[in-house]
Structure 1
C-alpha cells in the first residue's frame, strides 16, 4: 500500500519495469499533516483514528489534540480526508474550485477517493471535479488511488461516473495491473467483469499475469488470472519474457508450478535467447532447475503412444497393477515352502517389477489414485477369498445370500459415490461476469458470498475444494477412497458405501474364523496362544493377510461411519462446517454449541431428510437443491460461524 511518511508516499512492491530492478513510487505530500512524520494509515490511526473509517467517532480522540475537534478551522484537504461533508460544502460554496490542485499536484477528489469517502466523491463530481484527473508524484487518477487502498465501493462509484480503467499511472500500471499487484482479487474480478482485458499490457508491455508471476510470491494471483483465461505464452515488449520467465527470474516457485500445470512452454526464448531453464541456472535455484527438468522429461515422455494410453486408462491400469501386486503377495506367502528367504526375494522382485512398470507413469496421478485403487483391489481379493476359501465351508444358504447382497450393495454404492456429481456449482462466462457485477454493486463481493477462484456466487453451505478446484454444494470432504469430493448429491451414497464396507470386513472376520476352526484346529492347552498364532500362519499366510487387511478397513470405516452418523443425526452439519466452526471458536476463544444451528432439525427429521425416508408416506423428507440455495438479499449468509457462538 501507499504510505505517506515524511511528506512522501512510498510503495514497497519492488516493481520491475524494463531494465530497472527497483523503482520507488512517490505520492503527494500530506499538506494537512505538515510537520507530522506519520505513516498514512497505521500511525495516524494510533494517534488520531483511522481516517479511512467512515464511522470514526471524533469525540473519542485524545484531548491533547483538541484542535482537531474544531472542524471549522480545517482546510479542504483535511476535511476531505476526514470525510467532513459539511465543512467541504462550506469551503466549496465559499469559492474553492474542486478542480484546483494543491501544491503537490493533488485534487480533493484524490483525497476523497483514497479515504473511501463516497458522498464526498459524489459531491465533488457534481461540482465539476475531473474524474480522471492525474496527480501526485505517481501521476495517478483517483481510481488508481482507490485501487491501491483496496476500496471496492469507491472503485465501483468512480467507474459509474466514467473513470477510465485503461489510463496508466506514472509507473505504467493500468487499473487491473494495480489490483493484481496489491492482491485485491475482488477489485480485479470487478474490472474484468466490466470489460478490462485480462491480457492487456501496461505501458511497459507486461500483462497482469507477468506482473503476478514476477512480484507476488504465492500461487493465488497467478492461478486467479489463469482461471480467467490469461495467456501463459504472452511476451512483454522489452525483454520478450513470458510469465514463466518472470516467475523464474523472481524465484517464484509457487507461480512457476501453477504456470507449468497450465501448460506454459519451456522452449520459448526471450530477447537474449534464454529459456526458463537457462534463467533458472542463472539465478542459481536448484528447486526450479529440478522442477523444470522434471516437467521437461514428463512432457517428452508424454508424446509416446503407450503413455498416452496409460494416462487415458490410468484408473483401470493402476487398479490392475495394484490387484496384481496384492495377488502376487498372497501367492508368494502361500507357497508350499518353508524358505522365508526365497519368499522375501520373490517379494522384492515383484516390488521392483511394479516400480519399473510405473516409472514412466506421472507420479502425481499415481499417488492421487493409489488409495482408491488399493481399496478396489482389496475388495476384489476379499471377494475372491470368500469364493475360493470360505464358500466351501459355509453351508448355510442364508449366509451366502446375505454376503452376496452385501457385496452387490458395496460395489453399487461405491460406484455411485465415485461417479455421481457431488454438487459442483457451475456457471457460464456470462453468468460469472453478471454475478461479479451484481455482488460488487450490492457490496457483497466477499469470500462468504463470492469465490474468487471459481468467479461464482457461492450457494449457502458451499465450499471451495482445493483438490477439485471447484465449489461444491454442501461439501463434506474430499475423499481419497473415492478420489472425489463428497457433497450434496453423493453424500448418501458415500455413507452407505462405508456401512457396507464395514459389513464386508465383518464377513471376512467370520470367514477367517470358520476356515481356521475347520482346517487349523490348534491345541490351545498344549501349545498356548503363541502356538495358536504359529498354527494360523502355517495354515494360510494369505488368510492372515486378508484378516489384517479387513481389520484395517474395519477400523477406519467404523470411525468414519460413526462420525458421519453423529454429524448427520445430532448436528445436521457436514464435516467441513463442523471443522470450520471449531476453528472459529478456537481462534476467538469462545464456547460453542454445535447442535444449535439453523440446519439441525432434530434427530428424527435429520435422518429422514438425509436418507430420504418416506415409509409409505409417513415421512416427508425435505428435498433441497443446495446448488441453487443462495443467501437472501446478497448481504448475509444463512449460516455463519458467529451465529452459533
Structure 2
C-alpha cells in the first residue's frame, strides 16, 4: 500500500478501508472542514484485527488490543503503522491515543515511504493535518516521490491545507527532491488556474530554477501547455529572459510546443513590457484621467462634427466615421488601455463613484495568516468563509470581484460604465450618479425637441413619421446625434435607477444577492421569498440604513461596518465564527 491519494490502489476501495470513505483524486475536494463521523456498523467489532478497527474508527476495540499488548509502533506486512491508517481515515481520537502510547509521529511507511502527515494531506483531511502538526509532525520531510507536505497539498489542490502550512511557517519556496518549488509544481502538473493563482498571493520566487533542468515556473507552464498558469505568471512579472539548462527561454519552448496561442501570449507580453520603457507612454499613464476625459470628449465632438458636414454624401460621412472609430480603437489599444476605460464625464458623482473605495476588504500579511490559522482551528476554513484569492476572511455580503481582483464589502455589481465595483463605499454615490444622468438626459431630450420645433419646417402630424425623421436628420445631424445619445442613456439610467431603489427600499438586497436568490428560486423545489431575508427591515428602515439618514430623528439608522461583519446576530466571534 502506497498510503497516498496517488497510490490508493487496492486499499482505497478494498477491504481495508471503510466502505463509506471515498478516495480523493488528484483534483479532489477542497472543502476540508470534514470531521470524522460515527464509525460504520460492522457485524462483530470484537473479531476485527487492530488494523481494520483503526480504519473503521472502532476506538474501544483498538484500546482493548493495545492494552492487551499490541505495539502501536509495529508496522503491518505492508510496512504501514496504525498511525498511518488513523491519519488517512481522519480518526483524530485514535491518533491522539496512539501517540500517547508511543507511536512515532513521523514514521515512514507504505510503498511511497510516506509519513502519516503525507497520508492525511493526500486525502485532504485538514483537521488531521492540524492535529499532527500540533503533535510535532515535520512538514519539511520528503516522501518516496520526492515531495514535501506543501508540494503534496498543491499537487492534490487542497488549497486550505496549503494556506495553513504557509501560515504555520512553511516556506512557500520549499524545494522538493528535484529542486522544484510548489509554484513550479502547480505550473507543471495542476490543471486549472486556482493553484497557481493561490500560490502567487504568498509572493513566491517567480524566477527560481529547479536543480535538474534549470527551468523556472514559466518554463514548466509553457512546457506542460498550462495556458492559465502562463497567463498568471506573465501577469505577475515572471522573467522572459532566463534560459534553462539547454539555453532555452520560455518563448523558445512556446515555439517548440507549436501552440499558437501560447506563442501569442508570450510575444504579446514581450511587446507590452517593451512599451513600458516608452517615455511618451509613461507620460500618458501619469495623466491617464486627463487623457481619458480629453480623448473621449474629442471623440464625441468629432462624431457630431462629421455628421453635421455640409456634404450630402452619406458614403463620405460613413467612411470618415469608420476611420474615426478605427483610430479611436487603435488609440485605446496603444495608449489608453493602461488600467480601465470607463464611461467618462465631468460629473462630480461620477468622479466620486469612480475614485471612492467601494469597500475593499483589506488586511495585513500577518493578519491574513492569523485568520487562516483561526478559521482552520475553528473547523471552517472553506470557501464560504475564506477567499483563496485575497487570503482574507470573507465578511457577510462580500464577493470577490474578478475584474478588480479584490473582495468588496456588500458587493452590488461591477459597473461597466465606470470600470469600478459598486459596494458599501460608493453605492450611494452611484445612485446619485444615475439620478443626475437621468435628469441630464431628460433636459437634453427637451432641448433637442425644442430645437426641432423652432428650426425645422416639417411636422410629425402633417408629414408622417418617415418624412419627419428624414427632415430632422437633414435639418441638423448633430442634434439628431445628441438626441440618440440622450435617449439611450436616459432609458438605461432611469430603468436601472428604478431597479436599484426597488431593491434597496423593498428588498434590502444588493443586485448580486437578488440575482442569486432568483437563480436559487428557479432551481429550488420550495418557494423562496425575496422579501424574507435577514437584511430586509422594512421600506423606511432600509432607506434610512442605506442613506444613513435619520430624517430629523424619525428613524435611527443601523451603523454596520460590512468590511468586518461576519455574523447576522452581532454575536462574539468565538460563539459564531463560522456564520455565513
Same fold (TM over 0.5): yes
The Cα of 1:585 is off from its aligned counterpart by 4.0
- Name the residue aligned to 1:246: 220
- Name the residue aligned to 1:546: 482
- Name the residue aligned to 1:608: 544
Question: How far, CA to CA, are the matches of 1:39 and 1:449 in structure 2?
Answer: 27
Give the SS at the match of 1:628. coil
Question: Please, which runs of 5 or more residues in structure 1 have no aligned partner?
Answer: 1-6, 13-24, 44-51, 60-67, 381-410, 641-645
Which 4+ residue blocks in structure 1 deviate beyond 4 angstroms? 7-12, 25-32, 36-40, 634-640
- The reply to whether residue 290 of structure 1 matches residue 264 of structure 2 is yes
Paired residue for 2:392, among 453, 456, 471? 456
Which string of whole-angstrom CA distances, capped at 9 and with x for unpartnered residues, describes residues 465-523 of structure 1? 11111111111111111211111111111111112111111111111111111111414
The Cα of 1:637 is off from its aligned counterpart by 7.5
The Cα of 1:615 is off from its aligned counterpart by 2.4
Question: How far, CA to CA, are the matches of 2:461 and 2:148 in structure 1?
Answer: 87
Paired residue for 1:126, among 81, 95, 100? 100
Root mean square deviation, CA, Å: 2.5
Paired residue for 1:495, among 415, 422, 431? 431
- Name the residue aligned to 2:518: 582
Give the SS at the match of 1:90. helix
Which string of whole-angstrom CA distances, capped at 9 and with x for unpartnered residues, describes residues 434-468 of structure 1? 11111111112111211121111122211111111
Give the SS at the match of 1:626. coil
- The reply to whether residue 621 of structure 1 matches residue 557 of structure 2 is yes
Question: How far, CA to CA, are the matches of 1:639 and 1:131 in structure 2?
Answer: 34
The Cα of 1:192 is off from its aligned counterpart by 0.4
- Name the residue aligned to 2:61: 87
- Name the residue aligned to 1:158: 132
The Cα of 1:39 is off from its aligned counterpart by 11
Which string of whole-angstrom CA distances, capped at 9 and with x for unpartnered residues, describes residues 175-195 of structure 1? 111111111111100000000
Q: Would you say the 8 A contact 2:193–2:228 is kept in 1? A: yes
Paired residue for 1:571, among 507, 524, 527? 507
Q: Would you say the 8 A contact 1:152–1:187 is kept in 2? A: yes
Which string of whole-angstrom CA distances, capped at 9 and with x for unpartnered residues, describes residues 130-188 of structure 1? 00011000111010011111100000000000000110111111111111111111110
Further displaced range: 78-87 or 454-463: 454-463
- Name the residue aligned to 2:15: 33
Give the SS at the match of 1:425. coil
Residues 161-560 of structure 1 aligned to structure 2 (within 5 Å)? 161-361=135-335, 365=338, 368-369=340-341, 372=342, 375-376=343-344, 379=345, 411-524=347-460, 526-560=462-496
Question: How far, CA to CA, are the matches of 1:215 and 1:624 in structure 2?
Answer: 44
Question: How far, CA to CA, are the matches of 2:389 and 2:206 in structure 1?
Answer: 17
Give the SS at the match of 1:33. coil
- The reply to whether residue 54 of structure 1 matches residue 28 of structure 2 is no
The Cα of 1:308 is off from its aligned counterpart by 1.8
The Cα of 1:329 is off from its aligned counterpart by 1.0
Question: How far, CA to CA, are the matches of 2:243 and 2:12 in structure 1?
Answer: 46
- Name the residue aligned to 2:84: 110
Question: How far, CA to CA, are the matches of 1:608 and 1:467 in structure 2?
Answer: 31
Question: How far, CA to CA, are the matches of 1:253 and 1:566 in structure 2?
Answer: 43
Q: How many residues align?
A: 567
The change in CA–CA distance for 1:466 and 1:270 in structure 2 (over 3 A counts) is same
The change in CA–CA distance for 1:29 and 1:414 in structure 2 (over 3 A counts) is closer
The structure whose RCO (Cα within 8 Å, separation 6+) is larger is: 2
Q: Would you say the 8 A contact 1:209–1:230 is kept in 2? A: yes
The Cα of 1:590 is off from its aligned counterpart by 3.5
Paired residue for 2:528, among 592, 604, 620? 592
The Cα of 1:581 is off from its aligned counterpart by 2.7
Give the SS at the match of 1:485. strand
- Name the residue aligned to 1:21: none
Give the SS at the match of 2:335. coil
The change in CA–CA distance for 1:10 and 1:188 in structure 2 (over 3 A counts) is closer
Question: How far, CA to CA, are the matches of 2:376 and 2:5 in structure 1?
Answer: 26
- Name the residue aligned to 1:3: none
Give the SS at the match of 2:566. coil
The change in CA–CA distance for 1:285 and 1:273 in structure 2 (over 3 A counts) is same
Identify the structure with the greater helix proportion: 1
- Name the residue aligned to 1:141: 115
The Cα of 1:27 is off from its aligned counterpart by 7.0
Q: Would you say the 8 A contact 2:3–2:84 is kept in 1? A: no
Which string of whole-angstrom CA distances, capped at 9 and with x for unpartnered residues, describes residues 265-290 of structure 1? 11110000001111112222111011
- Name the residue aligned to 1:22: none
Question: How far, CA to CA, are the matches of 1:247 and 1:312 in structure 2?
Answer: 34
